[in-house]
Chain A
Amino acid sequence: MVMMLETRSLTKRFGDVVAVDSVSFTVNRGEIFGLLGTNGAGKTTTMKVFSCLLKPTSGQALVDGLDVVREPLEVKRRIGYMPEAPSLYDKLTGREFILMLGRLRGMPADVLGKRMDEFTHVLDLENALDMEIGSYSKGMRQRVAFASAILHRPPVLILDEPTTGLDPRFAKLVKSWIKDYTNGGNTVLMSTHVTEIAESLCDRVAIIHKGVIAGIGTVAELARMHGTSNLEDTFVKLVDTGRGGAD
């Protein structure tokens, strides 16, 4: 097993608030790993540390063996990141936005053009591509952000609530795309607070509560460990019994 993502006693504080408290886990190559937790549990903070948007207060976060603090540029080359409810540049068109990101990543023009055509066709963005992003609906923004994250086919994809704001058709499309993507040996770290999505999509899940990992394993392993029949019950049991210790 090759580890693509790893945290070692990762802690992130904002003043007196401990958002992530000594979290350790690994994600293997080709795996879909889900971070499941309530709002404010520390999922987004963990993902932002992997995306070099936040620096750990202590501990380490590694992407493909590279430290996010020491080698941020190399880490950023290996990841594609999509935040929850992404804010994009409203005054650029969808095409300009995607082209800008491709150029910033140093993608050759022909590859960039081909990929953009491919993704915008699949995500049904063709008609809106030359309109300013400011006029897009929430779902359209989400699709543009998704296309931008996968544009360079990164070995690691970090997706924060990837299906939020998408209609059922595109939510299904994105889910099947994620499955196919990892079949090619790529890795996906995604967060969600919808247990059904985690259950149907993730190879392994970490339940995070108050900045602490309350349980980690496959859905079946977690259910067996906690004497439940599905992920929802496991999640509720762990959260209700307060297996997070941050406060």
Chain B
Amino acid sequence: MVRIKLFEMYAADVLASYRAVRQRIGKHPLYVVWFIFLDLAVFGGVVWFVALVINSGEAVQYPLEVADLLFLMFMAFLGKSLLDYYHLLIERPASVFLFSQPLSRHTIVASKLLTVSVYNLALLALGLGIITGFTFLHPGLYFVIPPYLVADAIILMLLASSIGLMYSVVSSLGSWPRKIAATIMYSPMVSLVWLFTLQLRWEGWQLTQALFIVWVLSLIAVPLSSHLILEAWNTMTSSRSKLHRRLSRERRPSWLRRLVSKEAYPVYEKELKTLLRKREGVGNAITLAGFVIFAFYFYSEVDQYLELPAFAIAALPILVVGLSLFLAVVLLALIPALGAISKDGRSTWVLKSMPVRTKHIIEGKLASISVMLPFIIVFVALPVPMLAGLPPISYLFSAMGAAVMFLLAAGIGIWLGAKYPNFTESISYSPDVMTMYIVMMLALFVSAFLLLPPLAIAFADKFLGFLILILALDVACVIFILGKREAEKLLGDLEVTF
């Protein structure tokens, strides 16, 4: 009986996911084709690169070994599993319908573990299938994946699912001491994976057996999570009473009056307060810091292992600066702008029913996003070229490049966010992942189109390159204004059907 209930819940999750995917495909069929094409191209490129490295003989040392790749994959899927449990169970108000049924909490938790484990295994199967497909399509790509490696990958997927379950629950507990204590108690599971893969560097069936034992041990997550799940769910679905300082007067600093009109200011203030109180900035800052550290590691290590031509070595610091800036702009301008309209979700009626021009609503939202530009310049655009050992003139180019990318990202983001708003409650009204991906590629392409010519010219003539960069900034301003105007029209036409 328990088994039947478990599969009932699993089937409901699968059906819901299937319908969400079908709806997404129905909404943007061409996007899906483009998305698959891009994914295959990127995946194919990686497979081709790995095959090239494996088949190139022993003359070159590689920065990463198989054990590193396995551990990286495990960590990536651990993160994915965490998010899956939040969405499927812990942050979902509708979970009340499961908890109020005459079901044991073990059954509910086990059904979610089953769902996430199967999703993860399906992704692994897809990846291995694509690799096999590429091998057939391109006979030059010769490399064999030994059976024990596949077994390791499967066990690591299952491990990521069970450890992710436990961490998603303990990270949602009501108080910090309990969160920390529970996380520490369960941390030996991750430590064991780290020990066997990265420290002891076990290989072959020895690693497979060790990981299997860890997986069996990790299943203690089911009874432990069942014990704590109600507390975690209650914490995540009910807001705590947070008091904020009483402000009865409008405080609009004089310098801001030039940038944000009186009509747009209430929207700007609301956006900024929401951003700060949701602590979205902390997550973005951590991601950005992680990327910058990785970029520098990559920059300092990669040229020792790969025999790259001189021009490629010279271009690497510039590439690192460009990618760091782009990532910062994606996190702090593109994604916020893309979700600016839809993130109000079911509260969209508030602004739509006010006697305010859409021009001022969009202005307020964009002004709150633009607050991030000085942070990008101070924390990314200036220090990254400095640390990469580039000459001082590059700091100016980097700061101006950041401004160009920022304006483009905000303009394109707000326009396409208004054109394709995503009012899906289950993902907290954040932009659709496919739309996000396509818009990101578009912003990257336009940024490269505007920034590469001044950069190339600057190698020959710095002043001329600078002038062309000013021209690029002008073009970015025009795109920003056009995007803003389109968004205004689209917001005016938006109907609040929910």
From known contacts A77-B355, A96-B270, A103-B265, infer whether A130 and B347 are also in contact, taking CB-CB under 8 Å.
no
A95 vs B244: C-alpha distance in the bound complex, in angstroms?
A: 10
Q: Are B248 and A95 in contact (CB under 8 A)?
A: yes
Range of interface residues on B (Cβ < 8 Å): 35 or more
Inter-chain CA distance A99–B244, complex, in Å, is 14
Within 8 A of B (CB), among A27-66: 48, 51-55
Of the candidates B248, B269, B347, B355, which one forms a contact with A87 in the assembled complex, judged by CB atoms under 8 Å apart?
A: B347
Within A71-86, the residues touching B (CB, 8 Å) are: 73-74, 76-77, 79, 81, 83, 86
CB–CB B352/A132 < 8 A: no
Q: Are A95 and B355 in contact (CB under 8 A)?
A: no
Q: Are B239 and A134 in contact (CB under 8 A)?
A: yes
B100 within 8 A of A: no
User: Is the beta-carbon distance between B497 and A54 smaller than 8 angstroms?
Assistant: yes
Whether A99 contacts B497 in the complex (CB less than 8 A), given A52-B352, A53-B349, comes out as no
Q: How far is the CA of A87 from the CA of B345 in the complex (A)?
A: 9
Among A14, A91, A130, the residue within 8 A (CB) of B273 is A91
Q: For the complex, what is the distance from the CA of A129 to the CA of B243, rounded to whole Å?
A: 9
Closest residue of chain A to B354 (Cβ to Cβ) is A104
B495 touches A87 (CB 8 A): no
Specify which chain A residues have a CB less than 8 angstroms from the CB of B247 in the assembled complex.
Answer: 95-96, 99
Q: Chain B contacts of A76 at CB under 8 A?
A: 353-355
A109 within 8 A of B: yes
Instruction: Please state if A73 and B350 are interface contacts (CB–CB under 8 Å).
Output: no
Known contacts A53-B352, A96-B273; A104 and B266 CB within 8 A of each other? yes
Q: Is B87 an interface residue (CB 8 A)?
A: no
Interface residue B240 (Cβ < 8 Å from any Cβ of A): yes
Distance A195 CA – B248 CA, assembled complex (angstroms): 41
Q: In the bound complex, do residue A101 and residue B349 qualify as a contact, i.e. CB atoms below 8 Å apart? A: no
A14 to B277 alpha-carbon distance, docked (Å): 36
Q: Are A91 and B248 in contact (CB under 8 A)?
A: no
Give the interface SS of chain A, mostly helix, strand, loop or mixed.
mixed
> Is B258 located at the chain interface by the 8 A CB criterion?
no
- B239 and A99: CB pair below 8 A? no
A97 to chain B, nearest CB (A): 8
Q: Is B355 a contact partner of A135 (Cβ separation < 8 A)?
A: no
Does any Cβ of A come within 8 Å of B250's Cβ? Answer: yes
CB-contact partner of A130 in B244, B274, B351, under 8 A: B244
Q: Let me know if A220 is at the binding interface, CB within 8 A.
A: no
Determine whether the beta carbon of A95 is less than 8 Å from that of B246: yes
**Contacting residues, chain A, for B496 (C-beta < 8 A):** 48, 53-54
Question: How far apart are A73's CB and chain B's nearest CB, in angstroms?
Answer: 5
Contact of B241 among A86, A90, A91, A132 (CB under 8 A): A132
Contact with B along A90-110 (1 / 0, CB 8 A): 111101100111011110010
Query: Does B249 make an interface contact (CB < 8 A)?
Result: yes
Q: Which residues of A contact B266 (CB under 8 A)?
A: 99-101, 103-104
Q: Does A236 contact B (CB under 8 A)?
A: no
Give the number of A-B contacts (CB < 8 Å).
103
Determine the residue in chain B with the shortest Cβ distance to A73: B355
- Distance (Å) between the CB of B281 and the closest chain A CB? 13
Q: Which residues from chain A contact B267 at a C-beta distance below 8 Å?
A: 100, 104
Partner of A113, one of B248, B270, B497: B248
Asked whether A89 lies within 8 Å of B241 as measured between CB atoms, the reply is no
Contact with B along A113-129 (1 / 0, CB 8 A): 10000000000000001
Report if B357 contacts A (CB, 8 A): yes
> Given B245, B277, B495, which contacts A132 in the complex, CB threshold below 8 Å?
B277
Q: How far is the CB of B19 from chain A (nearest CB, A)?
A: 18
Q: Does B28 contact A (CB under 8 A)?
A: no
Q: Knowing A104-B267, A109-B249 touch, does A92 contact B352 (C-beta < 8 A)? A: no
Contact at B240–A101, with CB atoms within 8 Å?
no
Which B residues are in CB contact (< 8 Å) with A14? 497
Partner of A99, one of B248, B353, B354: B248
Q: A134 — which chain B residues lie within 8 A by C-beta?
A: 239
A135 to B277 Cα, complex, angstroms: 14
- Set B265, B278, B349: member contacting A83, Cβ < 8 A: B349
Instruction: State whether the Cβ of B356 lies closer than 8 Å to any Cβ in chain A.
Output: yes
Tell me if B346 is interfacial: C-beta within 8 Å of chain A.
Answer: yes
**B138 CB–A CB distance under 8 Å:** no
| Interface presence of A173 (CB below 8 A) | no
Residue of A whose beta carbon sits closest to that of B239: A134
Which single member of A48, A81, A129, A132 contacts B242 (CB below 8 Å)? Answer: A132
Cβ of B277 and Cβ of A100 under 8 Å apart? no
Are A105 and B354 in contact (CB-based, < 8 A)? Answer: yes
Could you say which residues of chain A place their CB within 8 Å of the CB of B347? 87-89
Q: Is the CB of A132 within 8 A of B353?
A: no
A77 to B354, CA, bound (A): 8
A131 at the interface (CB under 8 A from B): yes
Instruction: For residue A174, give the distance in angstroms from its CB to the closest CB of chain B.
Output: 19
A135 and B240 in contact (CB under 8 A), knowing A53-B353, A53-B495, A91-B278?
yes
6 more contacts with CB within 8 A, not counting A95-B246, A99-B247, A134-B239, are: A54-B497, A55-B495, A89-B344, A91-B273, A100-B266, A103-B250
B→A interface (CB under 8 Å): 238-250, 263, 265-267, 269-270, 273-274, 277-278, 344-347, 349-357, 495-497
Would you mind naming 5 contact pairs between A and B with Cβ atoms under 8 Å apart? A96-B273, A101-B266, A101-B354, A103-B266, A131-B243
What 9 A-B pairs are tightest by C-beta distance, nearest first? A134-B239, A87-B346, A76-B355, A53-B496, A135-B241, A103-B266, A91-B277, A77-B355, A91-B274
